Structure 1
Amino acid sequence: MAAAHEHLADSADEVPIPFRQAVEALRSARLRPEIEIDPTPAPKRLAPFAYALEAAVVEHGAGPGDEDRDLADGRLVLLHNPAGDETWQGTFRVVTLARAELEPEMGADPLLPEVSWSWLTGALNARAVRYGAPSGTVTRAGSSYFGALAEREPATQIEIRASWTPVEGPGGVPDLAAHLAAWCDLLCQVAGLPPATPDMAPRGGVVPLPQRRGAQPR
C-alpha cells in the first residue's frame, strides 16, 4: 500500500490531522490472511476528504489450472467532513460494499436479507467497534443461462451495501483499524469461511445460512 497517500489530497498540508491518522490506521490494520486489499481511487464528491480500499477474499490455487479464486469482494470508503455532517451525526462516515455468489438454495432463503444484515452488525459488535447511525441494503439477484451458456448452473449473487458513523476516540479519531477488520470479517462471512476465532461466531440466536460456493474465477 505504498501509494496510498496519493488518494488523500493534492497537498498533504491540506489534509486534517484526524483524517491522516485515520488513514494510517487503515493502512496498518492486521487482517486475516485470506484477505487481499489495496487502495483504490476514492469518490471526490461525497465529502471534502475521502479514502478508499478494495478487498477480496481469495482462495489460492482453487480455480482451474490452480488459479486463485475470489470468493467475495468489496469496497470500503472512509469519508471525512471536519465541519461535521448532520446526517452522519459525526465527522467521519464509513461506506461499504460486500458481494459474493451463493448457492441457489441459499439465495432463495427468505431470511437471507435479515441474516446478512446480522452478519454486519455481528461483525462490528464482535470487534467491540463503537458506531452509530447504521443504514444499508441487502440485494440478491439470480441469473439463469441460455444458448451457448446453457450448461452453466443458475447463480445467485448477494450484495450488502452499508454505511455507519464510527464513534470518535481520543483526538477525534475513531479506531478505523477495528472497523476495517470488522468489515473484512463480513467479507469472510459472505465468502463462507468459518470465524477466525470462536468469539467471532454468530450470537443472539442467529443461525448462519449454509456455506456458499466459491465465485467463478474472473
Structure 2
Amino acid sequence: MAAVGGNPAQSGGTSKESAPIEFRSAVEALAGTRLRPEVQLSPTPAPRRLAPYSWAVTATVEVDGEEVADGRLVLLYDPAGQEAWNGEFRIVTMTRAELEHEIADDPMLSEVGWAWLTDSLQTHGAIAGEPSGTVSRSSSQYFGGLADRASSTEIEVRASWTPSDGRFERHLAAWADLLCICGGLPPSMPAPLSLPDAPSLGGVVPMPARRRPRSH
C-alpha cells in the first residue's frame, strides 16, 4: 500500500512552522493514508497563488511494471475561506489514462468519467461540497519517426471539490480509486449502481476493460 513519506507538512512546499494547525492536521491525514498497492504517490511542489497554504502529490498507477494512469492532487487551505469553495479547504485533482479504442469511442464517455469520480467519493464515504470539473478526451495519430505507433486516445478528468467532512484520507482514497478505474482496474470496493447525477446512463456505470500502458 502506498503512502507519502517524509515530513508531511513540508511535502507540498508549505513550511511546518508557518502553517496553521488545521492545515497541518489535514496534511498529516493525507500523508498517512494507506492506499491500494497499484498506486504510487510522490510529493511535488504545490501551487502558491491559489491559496495561502497548499500541499500536493503526484500519483501513478502501475500494473505488471507498466504505468496505466497518472494524476495530481492538490490540497488548498484559506483560513478566511473562499466564497466559491463554501469552506476553508479545497481539493483540486487531475487524472489521466489511455483508453482502448472501443471505450474511447463511447459517446457517453464524459458522463461515465464523471460518474466514476462521484461513485468513488460516495463509495469511500467522502462528502464533497461544491464539486466542479471537466472530462476530456484527446486522440493522437502518429507520423514520421513515430508512424509505427498505433493511434491512441486519452481521458483526462479535472475536478475540484470542498471536503466537507474533514475526513481527508477518504478523499485521497476516493481519488486513488478513480485513478485505478480510469486505468482499467476494478474499484477497491463495490460501487453503488444508482447514479443520481447521471440519470441518462440508466443507473448503471459500465466498467472499463483493461487499458493499454500509457505512451511516453
Higher relative contact order (CA 8 A, sep 6+): 1
Alignment of 1:191-210 (within 5 A): 191-197=183-189, 199-200=190-191, 202-204=193-195, 205-210=203-208
Look up the SS of the partner of 1:211 in the other structure. Answer: coil
Gaps of 5+ in 1: 61-67, 169-173
Decide which of 9, 17, 20 is 2:14's aligned counterpart. Answer: 9
* 2:174 equivalent to 1:182: yes
More helix by share: 1
- Among 91, 96, 104, which residue is 2:93 paired with? 96
- Counterpart Cα distance in 2 of 1:91 and 1:175: 14
Q: Name the CA shift for 1:49/1:181 in 2 (closer, same or farther; >3 Å).
A: same
Structure 1 residue 13, shift from structure 2 partner: 2.8
Aligned to 2:158: 161
Q: CA deviation at 1:113?
A: 0.1
Per-residue deviation at 1:209? 4.4
Q: Are residue 32 (structure 1) and residue 29 (structure 2) matched?
A: no
Asked if 1:132 corresponds to 2:124, the answer is no
Q: Number of aligned residue pairs: give it.
A: 204
Cα distance per residue 1:167-194 (max 9 Å; x no partner)? 14xxxxx111000000001001000001
Identity of aligned residues (%): 50
After TM superposition, the score normalised by the length of structure 1 is: 0.88
Alpha carbons 2:126, 2:170 under 8 Å: kept? yes
RMSD of aligned residue pairs (Cα, Å)? 1.6
Q: TM-score, normalised by structure 2?
A: 0.89
Kept in 1, the 8 Å contact 2:90–2:162? The answer is: yes
Closer, same or farther in 2 for the Cα pair 1:72/1:94, shift >3 Å?
Answer: same
CA gap 1:105/1:2 in 2 versus in 1, 3 angstroms: same
